[in-house]
Structure 1
Amino acid sequence: MSETAQSEDFFIYRVGNIEVSIVNDGHITVPLAAGLIPGVPLSEVQASLREAGLPTETVTTTFAPLLFRSGPKTTLIDTGFGPDAAAEAGSTRGLLVGNMKANGVDPADVDVVVISHFHPDHVNGLLSQGKPTFPNATVMVPEPEWRFWMDIEEMKRAPEGRMSQLFQNNRRIFEQVGERLSVFKWGLEIVPGLEAVAAPGHSIGHTAFWLRSGGEQVFIQSDLTNQAALFVAKPDWHSALDQFPNQTVQTRRRFYDMLAEKRIPLQAFHHPFPGRCHLEKNGAGYRRTPIE
């Protein structure tokens, strides 16, 4: 891979013949909560943040969808929070569309939107003021995610709070997608060069991807980890946002062991922008080396 351009909001490199653009959707900074990592004392979490040179009273999450061109087609993986979030007073998120336009990519130019899983920072950007943000795009979603989140009985069983809100939010969004929806299965090349990979745990149908071209490849991890400073070094920790904690840890270790052993580039949605790195084993965990 050879890098061809770089900025704080739009980072371009190549995988073989495919041009990849990492687009900054912004960030959220919130107070560090005691329950961020269930079962781990707050002092241990703060010690890990301190070791990484980060604040210990707040935690910042970044968001970086991936755009790529393969032949005549333009594909976007995940959508960020969307223009509606960007329009909120004081917002630091939902910047994807603005950063795309600033770099010559109009939402109408996107042919395919691929969704890794149905959490708001990945799907909310499908809509803008109740209308499709990417009006000409087919929207491709993982079959296990679609089956679960669109199941009326599962929605009735969902506990009040986050899970109930996720069901409501996903129905609100996908009601507007309509006939543009396409459901895909794991293990298949869903657009040229892009293979969908089963990576459940964070969500029931959480999906990662291989992007390959011309003998080169990058592993697009989606949300195998969100806070790199915490979960890369301590891969047995899990977030309160992980739907199936034990499976999250198993999936993470399986892929990270492989990526470290084979030194395959990793692209992450939530790691420090632009989220591209190599991994290596480091004691019981891993160390990430950014690819600049």
Structure 2
Amino acid sequence: MALLDLTRRSLLQTGMAAAATAMLPAGLRPAHALATGDVVLSSVSDGNLVLPLGFSYPQAPQDKLVALLQANGLPTDSLMPDCNVPILKSGDRMIMFDVGSGSNFMPSAGRLLDNMAEGGLDPAEITDVVFTHAHPDHLWGLVDDFDEIVFPNARFFMGRTEWEFWRDPATVDAMPEERKTFAVGAQNRLAYLEDMINLFEPGAEVLPGVEAVDTAGHTPGHMSFMLHGGSEPVLIAGDAITHFAVSFAHPAWPSGSDQDAEMGVATRLRLLDRLASDKAALTAYHLPTPGEGRVERDGTVYRFVAEG
């Protein structure tokens, strides 16, 4: 795979974006796609989550948190992050990162298949599925209501640590009560992949040009993926970065969704510093749709700058 240069400026200069996006079904030609040559990085919405504010940032100074949300025109009683499923079209490969929530997690989510159909993309066209982690909104869309794998022609990839954690029978008992359903749901769905999963380690080239980056903390084996090959790389961050205001303005605030909050903070700070220094493009699962932009330093903290 030749990921040549995935910046909007270069696309405008070279005029290659239209040719690249033409390879996708018509409904999957988002205005904010990062594209070049025969490679297109797009995303499909799976809807959004609705999370209580107290769950999301229980240790943050609540007055500062509310003020930050108000300053960004957001509700102050809950967070409603978008869910963006990245899809990388490269040559004859259609690579999906995570598979959405399915129909059994939240009423506001689970829209992936409907939006794929609207965009003219058949699940049978997905050749590879690469998981960032095994939380419900990233994994539970693996099987449908008839207990059939939704992506019948895909190969499946997951980091070894993440796989072994969720497949361990002791994980259910070790999880806090409010997270036990996460573990039960993960074990039920990962069982479908027992004989077909491809496991990898941090730093591995999972697929050509797709480097696995260790971003543990949100879960024990959470992975992000750096797309290489051009003058500026692109990071698929999964849930290592989750909120377009809070994660950037206050990256040291612990997140209630991180299984290891302290490690999650360290990972987030390291990742933001790398993104700002490398001037890499960023796509993350819960940033505003389509979830693409860049990281800039803003004094001692950071700022998310959406593409487009």
TM-score (normalised: structure 2): 0.86
Contact 2:255/2:261 (CA < 8 Å) preserved in 1? Answer: yes
2:44 equivalent to 1:23? yes
* Cα distance in 2 between the residues matched to 1:254 and 1:53: 28
* Cα distance in 2 between the residues matched to 1:120 and 1:249: 22
Please state whether the residue corresponding to 1:101 is helix, strand or coil. Answer: helix
| AA aligned opposite 2:164 | R
Instruction: Report what 1:73 is aligned to.
Output: 93
Please state whether the residue corresponding to 1:93 is helix, strand or coil. Answer: coil
2:161 equivalent to 1:140? no
Larger fraction in strand = 1
Contact 2:236/2:284 (CA < 8 Å) preserved in 1? Answer: yes
Instruction: Report what 2:82 is aligned to.
Output: 62
Instruction: Report what 1:205 is aligned to.
Output: 221
Query: How big is the shift at 1:142?
Result: 0.8
Contact 1:10/1:23 (CA < 8 Å) preserved in 2? Answer: no
- After the TM superposition, which residues 117-128 of structure 1 pair with which residues of structure 2 at under 5 Å, given as runs? 117-128=133-144
Deviations 1:226-254 (A, max 9, x none): 12221111000121110111111111111
Task: Identify which of 97, 107, 115 aligns with 1:99.
Answer: 115
Please state whether the residue corresponding to 1:55 is helix, strand or coil. Answer: coil
Query: How big is the shift at 1:210?
Result: 0.8
* Cα distance in 2 between the residues matched to 1:16 and 1:150: 39
Please state whether the residue corresponding to 1:232 is helix, strand or coil. Answer: helix
Contact 1:279/1:287 (CA < 8 Å) preserved in 2? Answer: yes
Contact 1:76/1:113 (CA < 8 Å) preserved in 2? Answer: yes
Contact 1:210/1:217 (CA < 8 Å) preserved in 2? Answer: yes
Please state whether the residue corresponding to 2:221 is helix, strand or coil. Answer: coil
Please state whether the residue corresponding to 2:41 is helix, strand or coil. Answer: strand
2:290 equivalent to 1:274? yes
Please state whether the residue corresponding to 2:114 is helix, strand or coil. Answer: helix
User: Judging changes above 3 Å, is the alpha-carbon distance between structure 1 residues 213 and 78 closer, same or farther for their aligned structure 2 residues?
Assistant: same
Please state whether the residue corresponding to 2:177 is helix, strand or coil. Answer: coil
Query: How big is the shift at 1:155?
Result: 3.1
- After the TM superposition, which residues 130-279 of structure 1 pair with which residues of structure 2 at under 5 Å, given as runs? 130-162=147-179, 164-279=180-295
Query: How big is the shift at 1:152?
Result: 1.9
* Cα distance in 1 between the residues matched to 2:271 and 2:48: 26
Query: How big is the shift at 1:9?
Result: 7.7
* Cα distance in 1 between the residues matched to 2:269 and 2:27: 30
Unaligned runs of 5+ in 1: none
Contact 2:232/2:278 (CA < 8 Å) preserved in 1? Answer: no
User: Judging changes above 3 Å, is the alpha-carbon distance between structure 1 residues 63 and 251 closer, same or farther for their aligned structure 2 residues?
Assistant: same
Amino-acid identity (%): 31
User: Judging changes above 3 Å, is the alpha-carbon distance between structure 1 residues 214 and 250 closer, same or farther for their aligned structure 2 residues?
Assistant: closer
Please state whether the residue corresponding to 2:74 is helix, strand or coil. Answer: coil
Contact 2:238/2:284 (CA < 8 Å) preserved in 1? Answer: yes
Query: How big is the shift at 1:69?
Result: 1.6
Query: How big is the shift at 1:54?
Result: 1.4
| AA aligned opposite 1:238 | P
User: Judging changes above 3 Å, is the alpha-carbon distance between structure 1 residues 197 and 52 closer, same or farther for their aligned structure 2 residues?
Assistant: same
Query: How big is the shift at 1:146?
Result: 0.7
Deviations 1:13-49 (A, max 9, x none): 315541112111111234x433431322322211110
RMSD: 2.2
* Cα distance in 1 between the residues matched to 2:231 and 2:204: 18
Please state whether the residue corresponding to 2:266 is helix, strand or coil. Answer: helix
Unaligned runs of 5+ in 2: 1-5, 12-16
Contact 1:16/1:213 (CA < 8 Å) preserved in 2? Answer: no
